[in-house]
Amino acid sequence: MIGILVILVIFTGNNITKQMYESLRKEIDWERNPPKGSLFHAAAFDDSGNTVHVANVWESEEDLNSFVGSRLMPYMINNKIPEPKVEIFQINDVSAFPGIDKYRV
Question: Tens of pLDDT along 60-99?
Answer: 999 999 999 999 999 999 999 999 999 999 998 888 898 9
Task: Give me the DSSP letters along 78-105.
Answer: HTTPPPPEEEEEE-S-----GGGGGG--
Q: Which domains does the chain have, with CATH numbers?
A: 7-103 (3.30.70.100)
Question: What pLDDT is recorded for position 103?
Answer: 86
Question: What pLDDT shows up at residue 71?
Answer: 96
What DSSP state is assigned to residue 68?
I
**Integer Cα distance of 100 and 70 in angstroms:** 29
What is the per-residue pLDDT for 1? Answer: 42
The pTM score is: 0.88
Dihedrals phi, psi of 9, to nearest 5 degrees: -120, 125
Q: What is the pLDDT of residues 17-67, one digit of tens each?
A: 999 999 999 999 999 999 999 999 999 999 999 999 999 999 999 999 999
Burial classification of residue 4, based on how many CB atoms lie within 10 Å of its CB (0-12 exposed, 13-18 middle, 19 or more buried)? exposed
d(CA 90, CA 62): 13
Whether residue 3 is predicted with pLDDT greater than 60 in this model: the reply is no
Asked whether the beta carbons of 30 and 70 are under 8 A apart, the reply is no
Give residue 5's pLDDT: 75
